[in-house]
Structure formats: C-alpha cells, structure tokens
A and B are shown apart, each in its own frame.
Chain A
Amino acid sequence: AQTVTQSQPEMSVQEAETVTLSCTYDTSESDYYLFWYKQPPSRQMILVIRQEAYKQQNATENRFSVNFQKAAKSFSLKISDSQLGDAAMYFCAYRRGGASEKLVFGKGTKLTVNP
C-alpha cells in the first residue's frame, strides 16, 4: 500500500522569507502523481501544485515550487516570499496513475507565517 509521510507537524516562517515543507512517500508504482494541497481555516482543500512522476523537471507555480527526488521518493514544497495568507495546513498527497484513482494524504504540516 502506498503511504505518505510528512515529518514536520508544524513549521513557522517570517513574512517574505522562504520555507520548505518535507514529504516522503512509498510506492512500487512507476506511474503516479504527487500533489500539495493547502487547507486554510475555512477548511476548503485547495490544490497548490502537482507533479507527474514521469517528468524530471520540478513543477513551479508562482511562489511555490517543488523539489522532486524520484529515487529518494521525496517531494518537498518550497514557498518563497511567504505571505500571511500562506498560513494554513499543507498536505502532501499521492495518486497512482490511471483513470480515477484515490488520493493518499499525509498527516499535514501546519504552517504559521509571522509578520
């Protein structure tokens, strides 16, 4: 069974600084997708960034980027120029390749942004 591990229950960062959230996963599949979701206090899960396992290039979305190390099964999220609105729970998620597959989530990292 696939598992996703987030080893940092909580992280904090100063506004305008950079922070990196860690995620490791375990799978025997070669075709899969990885995601970072943000869940603010409003509870709605928002997709931040996705990475296809077959792509060597790390995904980037504005201030958010990932460091995807396939051999090490590591998928970290870097947030640059942190903003107060980035404060939230961040979940790393795995999805096996194929049509309509479930998401497997980690336990999350609570990010606090200090002014």
Chain B
Amino acid sequence: ETGVTQSPTHLIKTRGQQVTLRCSSQSGHNTVSWYQQALGQGPQFIFQYYREEENGRGNFPPRFSGLQFPNYSSELNVNALELDDSALYLCASSLAGWGGEQYFGPGTRLTVT
C-alpha cells in the first residue's frame, strides 16, 4: 500500500510569483484535504476535494485554488505569493465516509522571499 506523497519537498519563491504543489493520495482514498501549517502553529484547513469537486473551504482567499484528478491526486495552486504564505503545506487523503481518518503526507516547505 502506497502512502501519501507530496512534491516538491522544499521550494523557494519570490513574492508575486505563482506556485503549484502536488499530492498523490493513498491507495483506495478518494478525498484530499490541504492544510497550511505556519511555523510554531497547528495546521489550518485550506480546502478539500472529493470526486474532483471542492468540498469545503477554510478561511483562505481565492488566490488559493486546487484541483483533483480522476486518479484522486491533487494540486494546490497559490497565485500572487505573499511573504505570509511561507509555511509547511500538508496534504491528507481519506476515504469519504463517516469518521474517515485522514492520512498525511510529509509536506512541502514553501519559502517566499
């Protein structure tokens, strides 16, 4: 069974640029959730995708967008990067259903300069 994977591991971007982060869900899972974890904080929910549709969104501006593909992998796109976007971005996959546990990937560390 393959776990959740994310790419890249680290990246550095300049303010105003755009970035795409990728996530492959665990085998058998059909739901992907994205979280932002600022340094020294707990993860904050960005949004969730189920069957290629956005299925819930946290308090993040529209410049945070996502996609889910037919194989349930997902992308997180952030436009017009700001310094405060520097964080660890975590992807979690789960199987839709009551009490479905979320399994996390290792994260992507984004630094905006």
Interface residues of A (CB under 8 A from B): 4, 33, 35, 37, 42-47, 50, 52, 91, 93, 95, 97-108
Quick check: B100 and A44 within 8 Å, CB to CB?
no
CB contacts under 8 Å to A, within B75-105, are: 88, 90, 92, 94, 96-105
Choice from A33, A43, A98 contacting B107 with Cβ under 8 Å: A43
Interface residues of B (CB under 8 A from A): 31, 33, 35, 40-45, 48, 50, 55-56, 58, 88, 90, 92, 94, 96-107, 109
Query: Known: A47-B101, A97-B99. Is A102-B42 also a contact (CB below 8 A)?
Result: no
Quick check: B98 and A107 within 8 Å, CB to CB?
no
A26 to chain B, nearest CB (A): 15
Choice from B43, B45, B56 contacting A45 with Cβ under 8 Å: B43
Quick check: B105 and A100 within 8 Å, CB to CB?
no
Q: Which residues of B contact A43 (CB under 8 A)?
A: 88, 106-107, 109
> Chain A binding site: helix, strand, loop or mixed by DSSP?
strand
Quick check: B94 and A100 within 8 Å, CB to CB?
yes
Closest 7 A-B residue pairs measured CB to CB? Answer: A105-B42, A45-B104, A102-B45, A44-B106, A100-B96, A43-B107, A107-B42
Quick check: B100 and A100 within 8 Å, CB to CB?
yes
Query: Known: A47-B101, A52-B99. Is A100-B31 also a contact (CB below 8 A)?
Result: yes
